[in-house]
C-alpha cells in the first residue's frame, strides 16, 4: 500500500500536516549534522501494521496507550472497540511487531511504501506528566523502586531509610537534577518515558508522513484514521479538561525550579522544541 500525501485534493488539515512535514525537514537540515547509521535497536519504537501499511513510532506520555489499542483493533488482535482493550494488554511485549523485528531489506520496503506517523507533545509538559505518573503517584511503585531509590541515594544529602527502600517521595527538582547529571547519560539511554522524542523516533533519519501533536490529538488522530480508510474507528480521546489540567500541573511543578536549571533542561530537550516547532512555555524563564 503506497501513500502519497502530496497528491490529490487538499483539506485544511492536510495542509497543516504538509506544513509540519516541511518544517521538520527544514529543522533537520538546519540543526543536525551527519549522523550515524541506524541500528536495529533504534527501530524498536516503530510499530508495524502490515495489513494497513502503517508505521507508528510511539512516544510514551503522548497517548501511546490509546494508539496501541487502535492498532490492535485495526489488526484484529483485539476487540473492535479500542476502549475495550486493557492498558496492560496494549503494552504487552510482542502484541504488535516492531520494525526492529525485520531484516534491513524488509525495513526499507516498509519505509518506502507505508504511512509513517508519530505523535509528539510539548517537551516540558510531557516531562512533568512522566514524573507525576511514574514517580509521584501511588501506582508508580515499580518505577519508584527502579529509579526513585537511585535518585534519592545519589542526590539527597540525608535520605531516610524508607525513601532508600521505596523511592516513593522523589521531588521534581531531584528528578530534574538526575536528568541533568552527566552520570545518568553515561549509565545508558534515558528511560523511554523521559527520553527525547527525536531520540526515540529519529525523525531526521526516517520519513514521517504525519506529525501528530498531543495538543491537537482528536483532529490529528481522526486525520490518520481517515487516511487508513477507517474513519469509523473511534480514537479513545481523553476528557476535554485533561489537557488544560496537565498544563497547569506542569506550570506548578516548574514554578519552583530556578532559571539556571530551567535553561539547562531546555538545552537537554532543545532538539524536540526545534524539530517539532514548540516554543518554550510561558512559565519557563530562559533569560
Quick: pLDDT tens for 249-284: 999 999 999 999 999 999 999 999 999 999 999 999
DSSP 181: -
Helix (H, G, I), strand (E, B) or coil at 96: coil
Which pLDDT band, with edges at 50, 70 and 90, does 239 fall under?
Answer: confident
Is there a domain that residue 150 lies in? yes
Q: Are residues 147 and 263 in the same domain?
A: yes
Q: Are residues 211 and 150 in the same domain?
A: no
pLDDT at 253: 96
Q: Are residues 28 and 53 in the same domain?
A: yes
**Grid coordinates belonging to 226:** 481517515
Q: Are residues 148 and 21 in the same domain?
A: no
Q: How far is CA 277 from the centre of its chain?
A: 15
Quick: pLDDT tens for 2-37: 555 654 446 889 999 999 999 999 999 998 877 778
**CA distance linking residue 51 with residue 66, whole number of Å:** 19
Residues composing the chain: 287
Determine the average pLDDT of the residues in 39-65: 96
Closest by alpha carbon to 251, among 215, 287, 285, 283?
A: 283
pTM of this structure: 0.93
Q: How far is CA 246 from the centre of its chain?
A: 15
* Pairing status of strand 210-213 against strand 115-120: parallel
**Cell 495489513, residue located:** 51
* Structural domain count of the chain: 2
Ramachandran angles phi, psi of 215, nearest 5°: -70, -20
pLDDT at 5: 65
Strands (E), the chain: 46-49, 54-57, 115-120, 210-213
Q: Are residues 81 and 51 in the same domain?
A: yes
Residues spanned by the domain of 253? 124-192+244-272
**CA distance linking residue 206 with residue 190, whole number of Å:** 21
* 156 C-beta neighbours (distance < 10 Å), count: 16
Amino acid at each position: 500500500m503506497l501513500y502519497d500525501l502530496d497528491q490529490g485534493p487538499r483539506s485544511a488539515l492536510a495542509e497543516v500536516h504538509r506544513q509540519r512535514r516541511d518544517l521538520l525537514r527544514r529543522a533537520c537540515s538546519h540543526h543536525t549534522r551527519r549522523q550515524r547509521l541506524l541500528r536495529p535497536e533504534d527501530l524498536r519504537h516503530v510499530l508495524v501494521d502490515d495489513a494497513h501499511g502503517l508505521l507508528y513510532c510511539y512516544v510514551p506520555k503522548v497517548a501511546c496507550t490509546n494508539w496501541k489499542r487502535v492498532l490492535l483493533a485495526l489488526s484484529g488482535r483485539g476487540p473492535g472497540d479500542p476502549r475495550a482493550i486493557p492498558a496492560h494488554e496494549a503494552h504487552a511485549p510482542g502484541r504488535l511487531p516492531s520494525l526492529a523485528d525485520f531484516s534491513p531489506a524488509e525495513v526499507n520496503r516498509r519505509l518506502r511504501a507505508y504511512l509513517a506517523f508519530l505523535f509528539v507533545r510539548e517537551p516540558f509538559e510531557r516531562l512533568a506528566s512522566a514524573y507525576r505518573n511514574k514517580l509521584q503517584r501511588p501506582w508508580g511503585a515499580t518505577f519508584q523502586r527502579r529509579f526513585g531509590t537511585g535518585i534519592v541515594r545519589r542526590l539527597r544529602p540525608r535520605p531516610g531509610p524508607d525513601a532508600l527502600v521505596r523511592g516513593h517521595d522523589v521531588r521534581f527538582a531531584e528528578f530534574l537534577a538526575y536528568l541533568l547529571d552527566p552520570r545518568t547519560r553515561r549509565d545508558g539511554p534515558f528511560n523511554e518515558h523521559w527520553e527525547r522524542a527525536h531520540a526515540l523516533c529519529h525523525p531526521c533519519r526516517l520519513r514521517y508522513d504525519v506529525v501528530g501533536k498531543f495538543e491537537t490529538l482528536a483532529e490529528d488522530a481522526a486525520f490518520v484514521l481517515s487516511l487508513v480508510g477507517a474513519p469509523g474507528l473511534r480514537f479513545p480521546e481523553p476528557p476535554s479538561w485533561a489537557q488544560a489540567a496537565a498544563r497547569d500541573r506542569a506550570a506548578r511543578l516548574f514554578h519552583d525550579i530556578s532559571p539556571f536549571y530551567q535553561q539547562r533542561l531546555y538545552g537537554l530537550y532543545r532538539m524536540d522544541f526545534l524539530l517539532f516547532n514548540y516554543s518554550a512555555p510561558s512559565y519557563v524563564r530562559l533569560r
